Amino acid sequence: MSFSGILMGMGNPLLDISAEVPMEVVDKYGVKMDSAILAEEKHLPIYQDLIKNYTVQYIAGGATQNSIRVAQWMLQKTDLKTAYMGCIGKDDEYGNTLKECAQKDGVFVHYMMTEEEPTGTCAVLVNGGERSLIANLAAANKFTPEHLKTPLAQEIIQSCQYYYMAGFFLTVSVDSLVQVAEHAVANKKVVCLNLSAPFIVDFFGDQVATALPYADFLFCNESEAEAYAKKHGMEGKDLKDVALEVSKSPKKSTERPRTVVFTQGSKSTIVACEGKVEEYPVELLAKEALVDTNGAGDAFVGGFLAQLVQGKSLEDSVKAGHWAARYIIQRSGTTLGETCDYTV
The residues annotated with a catalytic role in the active site are: 298
102 in Cβ contact with 66 (< 8 Å): no
DSSP track, 207-234: HHHHHGGG-SEEEEEHHHHHHHHHHTT-
Angle among Cα 187, 307, 248 to the nearest 5 degrees reads 60
- Sign for the pseudo-dihedral over CA of 209, 40, 118, 302: negative
8-state DSSP, 341:
-
Q: What are phi and psi of 310, to 5 degrees?
A: -95, 5
Q: What are phi and psi of 82, to 5 degrees?
A: -120, 160
**Closest among 89, 107, 99 to 3, alpha carbons compared:** 107
8-state DSSP, 287:
G
HSE at residue 190, side-chain half, CA atoms within 13 A, is 18
**Closest among 342, 340, 265 to 73, alpha carbons compared:** 340
Tell me the C-alpha distance between 330 and 177, whole Å: 33
Decide: helix, strand or coil at residue 296.
helix
Tell me the C-alpha distance between 219 and 71, whole Å: 15
Tell me the C-alpha distance between 95 and 294, whole Å: 21
97 in Cβ contact with 89 (< 8 Å): no
Tell me the C-alpha distance between 341 and 153, whole Å: 32
Helix (H) or strand (E) holding 112: strand 112-114
**Closest among 160, 162, 123, 116 to 140, alpha carbons compared:** 116
